[in-house]
Amino acid sequence: MLTKKEREKAGQYLLEGFHLVEAALYHKKDIVELIVSEDITLPAHWNVDDVELTMVTPEIAKALSDTEAGQGVFAVCRKQKLTEALKGRTYLLIDAVQDPGNIGTMIRTADAAGLDGVILGTGCADPYNPKVLRSAQGSHFHLPLIQMPLLEAVHQLKEQGIRVFGTSLQQASDYREAEVEDSFALLVGNEGSGVEEALLKETDNNVYIPIYGKSESLNVAVAAGILLYHFKHSFKNV
């Protein structure tokens, strides 16, 4: 489970650290086992009576760790099993974002904004990559993470009457001018090249965030946060 190939084969992934393992304990059905270094004392308030517990040597714990200063506490968890039927009303679609930190931050932001799910298209970093898990801070347990072709997702959403907003610097309008109803899907793209042109042609509207300084663009996770909260606020006040 230390590589994407191993995670896909097992249908499981490895969480590391006290904070993330504690988050997993609120969703025990997703836990396969806890792995704890022999020199670690678990917090007294953790209820692990009905969870399989494996003790390992500090050397093994260090080998399992993805960080320089590992905490010696891990949870083996089951990956989400999801169909590609989109039943929610608010989604974040991510096109070929490769930085794990950006993916994790956007999952966490979508969770905080109360979205119904995150859809990851081709070329995105593995949502169960250790860096994604750390950045998401437990949000993997709170909302669906769906991996599917984004053209297919856009078509499904539009068929359900959900407006899809792309992000682009060309042929787009100021995001504050967008008319958002009681549902929406936001599509953001690759850190360097943005959203694929074929996808932008299928959206209902494309928007941009004005840049007032000399920077060429915003970080994709920052931009997603601004837009998601603006759209949620807009339709709550319709």
Predicted pLDDT at 83: 66
**90-236 to CATH, choices 3.40.20.10, 3.30.930.10, 3.40.1280.10, 1.10.3720.10:** 3.40.1280.10
* Residue-wise pLDDT tens digits, 163-201: 999 999 889 999 999 999 889 999 999 999 999 999 999
Enumerate the domain spans of the chain: 4-78, 90-236
What b-and-e string marks burial along 203-212, b requiring 16 or more CB atoms within 10 Å of the CB?
bbbbbbbeee
Residues 86-111 have a mean pLDDT of 97
| Neighbouring-strand partners of residue 118 | 92, 145
Instruction: Classify 4-78 by CATH class.
Output: alpha beta
Predicted pLDDT at 201: 97
* Residue-wise pLDDT tens digits, 100-111: 999 999 999 999
The owner of tokens 């603006």 is: 230
Q: What is the mean pLDDT of the chain?
A: 95
Please report which confidence band the pLDDT of residue 236 belongs to, taking 50, 70 and 90 as the band edges. low
Give φ, ψ of 215 to 5 degrees.
-65, 145
Which is it for the CA torsion 126, 128, 133, 136, positive or negative? positive
Predicted pLDDT at 142: 97
* Residue-wise pLDDT tens digits, 117-126: 999 999 999 9
Model-level pTM?
A: 0.95
Predicted pLDDT at 141: 97
